[in-house]
Amino acid sequence: MGNEHISKRFDAELEGLRSRVLQMGGLVEQQIMRAMEVLAYGDIALADQVIADDHRVNAMEVGIDDDCTHIIARRQPTASDLRMVMAVVKTITDLERIGDEAQKIARMAKQLHQSGARFNHQLADIRYACNITLDMIKTSLDAFARLDVSGAAKVVQQDAEVDARFRAILRQLMTFMMEDPRTISASIDILFIAKAIERIGDHAKNMSEYVVYLVKGKDVRHITAEELVKVATSAD
């Protein structure tokens, strides 16, 4: 009975970790959406709120990471339980970095609006790329919650689309800067925003790869998307 009680408590601790990761992910998603709202409408107060709220994301990372350290020390998990703890540690690191990118978008958006720059022609492409990355984050978190490797594989494939969209925005901005040097300052700010979105996609992709590691026990960080899909769909 003693061992069964300990096992149940350990399961509850792991479930608590998973819930807090999802909560942190929800906060990060909110930060991105608010940052994009700043870009679209120029709400300076909202930009300042996104920037100030970054400490909440940081605090959640520190708290969850500390609990993971204590669980490893107390429980000495093995096999799938150890992979769960390690996946949590890696996932919250990427979520914290996504929060940093959301803060960067808010800062650049605030700067653009305060400068009075016109950038409406790039806004649709940037919003489209951001919507893809938001879907990647949601799918990665859902895959983590459900231990769904097929969802994780979808995210890896989506990342290629975000990269292609970033390259298209970059080419467009380079054309604007060459044709009219007066657009250089604003174009650089927009480029930073586009790069931040591309980096968010990279972090979401990382998170999906941790799900494959958690479920399959295989490190898939440095293989092609096609190889990852094979690993995700293969029988155990």
Cα dihedral 231, 201, 141, 14 in deg (nearest 10): 80
Q: How many residues make up the chain in this entry?
A: 236
DSSP string, 134-197: HHHHHHHHHHHHHT-HHHHHHHHHHHHHHHHHHHHHHHHHHHHHHH-GGGHHHHHHHHHHHHHH
Name the residue with higher pLDDT: 11 or 163.
163
Q: Which two tokens stand for residue 28?
A: 């990060």
What pLDDT, on a 0 to 100 scale, did the predictor assign at position 5? 47
Query: Which residue is listed with tokens 């990647």?
Result: 136
Quick one: which of 53, 166, 49 has its CA closest to 100?
Answer: 53
pLDDT in tens, 81-123: 999 999 999 999 999 999 999 999 999 999 999 988 777 777 8
The predicted model scores a pTM of 0.91
The overall average pLDDT reported for the chain is 90
Q: Judge residue 147's burial from the number of C-beta atoms within 10 Å of its C-beta, 0-12 exposed, 13-18 middle, 19 or more buried.
A: middle
pLDDT in tens, 22-41: 999 999 999 999 999 999 99
| 125 membership: H or E segment, kind and range | helix 120-146
